[in-house]
Amino acid sequence: MRHFLNPLDFTVGELDEVLDLADEIRQNPERYSQVCKGKKIATLFYEPSTRTRLSFEAAMLNLGGSVLGFATADSSSATKGESVSDTIRIVSCYADICAMRHPKEGAPLVASLKSSIPVINAGDGGHQHPTQTLTDLCTIRSLKGRLSDLTIGLCGDLKFGRTVHSLISALVRYPHIRFVLISPDALRIPSYIRDNTLIKNKIPFKEVQRLEDVMPELDILYMTRVQKERFFNEEDYIRMKDSYILDAEKMKLAREDMLVLHPLPRVNEISVEVDDDPRAAYFKQVQFGVYARMALIMTLLGLGGK
Amino acid sequence: MRHFLNPLDFTVGELDEVLDLADEIRQNPERYSQVCKGKKIATLFYEPSTRTRLSFEAAMLNLGGSVLGFATADSSSATKGESVSDTIRIVSCYADICAMRHPKEGAPLVASLKSSIPVINAGDGGHQHPTQTLTDLCTIRSLKGRLSDLTIGLCGDLKFGRTVHSLISALVRYPHIRFVLISPDALRIPSYIRDNTLIKNKIPFKEVQRLEDVMPELDILYMTRVQKERFFNEEDYIRMKDSYILDAEKMKLAREDMLVLHPLPRVNEISVEVDDDPRAAYFKQVQFGVYARMALIMTLLGLGGK
Amino acid sequence: MRHFLNPLDFTVGELDEVLDLADEIRQNPERYSQVCKGKKIATLFYEPSTRTRLSFEAAMLNLGGSVLGFATADSSSATKGESVSDTIRIVSCYADICAMRHPKEGAPLVASLKSSIPVINAGDGGHQHPTQTLTDLCTIRSLKGRLSDLTIGLCGDLKFGRTVHSLISALVRYPHIRFVLISPDALRIPSYIRDNTLIKNKIPFKEVQRLEDVMPELDILYMTRVQKERFFNEEDYIRMKDSYILDAEKMKLAREDMLVLHPLPRVNEISVEVDDDPRAAYFKQVQFGVYARMALIMTLLGLGGK
């Protein structure tokens, strides 16, 4: 039995198979509309994340399966002191697979150790959010046709943004990847990622503070939200939050075929005037996320083979 | 693509088709039990309304479709600052149709502008609640056999009660409708409805303060709840809330074939002793609400034609 | 139409039929995977109980039916002052059967009086939790092969633990049952149960304070959680909560074929080292709970006959 706790849990070859399946599903959704008939996914969301939860639920329903679970911890047994290990043993009696979101890092890993069903990490604290990374890879691969030979700009909060960290770790496994890291000084990429992931693997990268300066170089611009709750004080937040806003003016500097991605939700870091630009891929990304999760569910349930 | 944001979005002819379909569904539920197979409704409830939400969910399940969504705003991305426009674009990737309840007036309209799936307004603040109106029309038409030639008493909070306002706007489009408006002086129908909807359209109506005085005239008595939260102070609420209670005594004054409707939930404005009166139609109304929503979902998904 | 409000609502013979059906379902789940197609269960949880709610939902989904409802009272019409009697009349229009959890004792009974669909009591305050009892009976009967000739130890909070009270009432109807009641003095079984259920029915029992002393006698050890919220003060809780912890050491004193049951969630009253002991049956119990609920739903919907 396999779990999906970290994007690196799958080899590049295994990921390719998942992404191939996602692509096949996208082209022939009808063919897959009953493959999970009689199967159930449990969505165990110890903190709310509507978009991610609904993506999993849509994925399972699209496959003909059904859904049970909870959307916030207040309605879970956690409040009665039950451990994640006990909860997963119980849920193993109710469902065939589960997606767990938890504010504590490592909780899905702990669950997986006692689980008799596949566990998907749907986000654990500031740690991992591997199905977002799978979504990002699926989007880039489908729209660019490749996951290699790309210059990828990552913009915004690179210090706390777990989607950025996961995406870097996932992309360094592909050939000829180059990163442009765009952030205020206070929100630079953590040194353990710079040293252990980028430098160690001899991945070319540069760090800059102004988005305008690097727009023309990018194949992909991955924008991230400046999360208010990550800041130490209100002042810093207000001073910096507007520094990295993508608007139509900045888009003029970009290549014709550059793609803009964003893990969503966005607040104001991408101006709505960019939404109608054909290079804006962040809403398409949501659709790719459903296909990626469908492929992942099938794979973990052993239904992905040919 | 059509949305359903306001009862007046549909012409009388279009409404007739929806109500005909509702009637057909009521008589042959089995025939419609799979028409939405593979389709999903998203119930986006930014404020809780269990009755309305469950009615939509029952409707979709009765049609063989499935359901995803959220029941309160705390578990939605709204708390992270996402706009309704972004949410609907995302949900468009997850579902085939959506029902949105929102505390802000106009939110479903804003959503519909960016949506690629039909949006049903499931109540927006004090503004509209068009599926309640559709339910009311369906109930009256099914039990009375017509939507014309009726004297309709509207009783209770006529100032803030949006279901009353919507019902008036919907009924003035049918011939030979007469209204009796029964309320305390402080909760009279707003002047913009009196002037622009009733007087302008030459609809006969009268305003009275005592329910007893007009009971014998009515074909329909539409009771409404005195919502505590609409009052400016506790005193006013306590003084007035009991003024308009329907009981067995008052029912003696009514015609044999008068119908009592209520949008529910009721608190004490209809005494439980009235429940067993054959003229009490407020629980039947709930059942008609499911048929009306089934017909509406089918119609908006383009499955309503012959 | 039958409801299931109290384990004693069913005769021993009727319970036998439900438990036989549960057993048949366990052995041939595929055969039952569509029997509730087109049927809906409403899970009306006025207080959260994730484990119980998900068990009902899994049960209905396993039978091919579908689910709607609410997980907490905040999202229900109860907050608008609607009575349980009104809610059940409304829900009767939405679903074919319902499971109600309510903090007030007797609420499911009140609901059943106005309901036109079967009502299952999914726990009402400190009063009853009959599907837990059904689960317990199903587990004992399946793993022991009988519900008679058993010495049953009940350990922990015997004063407030409703699962213990219900289980005693259910088991005294079978021949040759003997109870060993293990609790601190302050949490002894209430006198109305001792006098009216045990003594009146001439059921042999003894009351002890130390678990170690009676381990060798037991066929079944039913552990219960020491619920912090039942204690009058923090001090008492801290002093007593660790007194009745089952660990590997105590398990050495037990028979080879003794079974450990627990209604879950557990906090620390069973040490995790016991989990891998083949006599630990509390996670199997969860699975039996799903089969028991499947059998119950079928029976109440009139689908249980041969």
A164 with A248, same domain: the answer is yes
A48 with A80, same domain: the answer is yes
Can you tell me the distance from the alpha carbon of B85 to that of B103, in angstroms, rounded to the nearest whole number? Answer: 15
Question: Could you give the dihedral angle defined by the CA atoms of residues C289, C291, C295 and C296, in that order, rounded to the nearest 10 degrees?
Answer: 20
Q: Is A18 in a helix, a strand, or coil? A: helix
Which residue among C68, C76, C89 sits closest to B283, beta carbon to beta carbon? C89
User: Does C146 fall in a domain?
Assistant: yes
Question: pLDDT digit of tens for each residue in chain C (306 aa)?
Answer: 999 999 899 999 999 999 999 999 999 999 999 999 999 999 999 999 999 999 999 999 999 999 999 988 775 655 667 899 999 999 999 999 999 999 999 999 999 999 999 999 999 987 889 999 999 999 999 999 999 999 999 999 899 888 999 999 999 999 999 999 998 888 899 999 999 999 999 999 999 988 989 999 999 999 998 767 666 678 877 776 666 889 999 999 999 999 999 999 888 899 999 999 999 999 999 999 999 999 999 999 999 865
C203 with C243, same domain: the answer is yes
B112 with B13, same domain: the answer is yes
Active site residue B53: no
A66 contacts on B by Cβ (under 8 Å): 66
Which residue among B50, B61, B286 sits closest to C93, beta carbon to beta carbon? B286
Amino acid at residue number C277: D
Can you tell me the distance from the alpha carbon of C146 to that of C153, in angstroms, rounded to the nearest whole number? Answer: 16
Residue C23 tokens, joined: 């057993």
Residue B98's φ and ψ, nearest 5 degrees, are -140, 150
Inspect the interface and report whether the beta carbons of C54 and A69 lie closer than 8 Å. yes
Inspect the interface and report whether the beta carbons of A85 and C272 lie closer than 8 Å. yes
User: Does B2 fall in a domain?
Assistant: no
Pairing of strands A150-155, A259-261: unpaired
Quote the number of domains for chain B. Answer: 2
Can you tell me the distance from the alpha carbon of A164 to that of B156, in angstroms, rounded to the nearest whole number? Answer: 56
A16 with A121, same domain: the answer is yes
C203 with C228, same domain: the answer is yes
Can you tell me the distance from the alpha carbon of A142 to that of A289, in angstroms, rounded to the nearest whole number? Answer: 12
Q: Is the pLDDT of residue B306 over 60?
A: no
- Residue tagged active-site, from B40, B101, B141, B194: B101
- Residue tagged active-site, from B37, B51, B200, B228: B51
Q: Is A139 in a helix, a strand, or coil? A: helix
Question: pLDDT digit of tens for each residue in chain A (306 aa)?
Answer: 999 999 899 999 999 999 999 999 999 999 999 999 999 999 999 999 999 999 999 999 999 999 999 988 775 655 667 899 999 999 999 999 999 999 999 999 999 999 999 999 999 987 889 999 999 999 999 999 999 999 999 999 899 888 999 999 999 999 999 999 998 888 899 999 999 999 999 999 999 988 989 999 999 999 998 767 666 678 877 776 666 889 999 999 999 999 999 999 888 899 999 999 999 999 999 999 999 999 999 999 999 865
Which residue among B38, B81, B94 sits closest to A54, beta carbon to beta carbon? B94
B278 with B265, same domain: the answer is yes
- Residue tagged active-site, from B80, B202, B252, B306: B80
Q: Is C154 in a helix, a strand, or coil? A: strand
CATH number, domain containing residue C225: 3.40.50.1370
Q: What is the DSSP letter of A275?
A: T
Active site residue A230: no
Describe the crossing of helices A130-144 and A162-171 by its angle, rounded to 10 degrees.
60
C-alpha distances in Å from residue B77, one per residue of A53, A98, C85 = 11, 21, 34
User: Does A172 fall in a domain?
Assistant: yes
**Burial of A200 (C-beta count, 10 Å sphere; 0-12/13-18/19+):** exposed
Inspect the interface and report whether the beta carbons of A54 and B77 lie closer than 8 Å. no
C-alpha distances in Å from residue C189, one per residue of A186, B265, C181, C219, C260 = 62, 42, 8, 20, 20
C272 with C163, same domain: the answer is yes
Write the CB contacts of C209 (distance below 8 Å, at least 6 apart in sequence): C182, C183, C184, C185
Residue C100 tokens, joined: 């109600």
Query: If you measure CA to CA, which chain A residue comes closest to C66?
Result: A66
B143 with B64, same domain: the answer is no
Residue B8 tokens, joined: 């007046």
Q: Which chains touch A (3 or more CB pairs under 8 A)?
A: B, C
Placement of tokens 């409801």 in the chain: C3
Say if CB A90 and CB C270 are below 8 A apart. Answer: no
Q: Which domain holds residue B35?
A: 7-128+289-300
User: Does C1 fall in a domain?
Assistant: no
User: Does A231 fall in a domain?
Assistant: yes
B141 with B54, same domain: the answer is no
User: Does A217 fall in a domain?
Assistant: yes
User: Does B17 fall in a domain?
Assistant: yes
Placement of tokens 């989904």 in the chain: C61
Extract the runs of DSSP E, i.e. beta strands, from B90-186. 97-102, 119-124, 150-155, 177-182
User: Does A1 fall in a domain?
Assistant: no
> Among B37, B80, B92, B100, which would you mutate to test the A interface (most chain A Cβ atoms within 10 Å of its Cβ)?
B80
Question: With helix as H, strand as E and coil as C, how does A22-45 read?
Answer: HHHHHHCHHHHCCCCCCCEEEEEE
A164 with A38, same domain: the answer is no
B147 with B243, same domain: the answer is yes
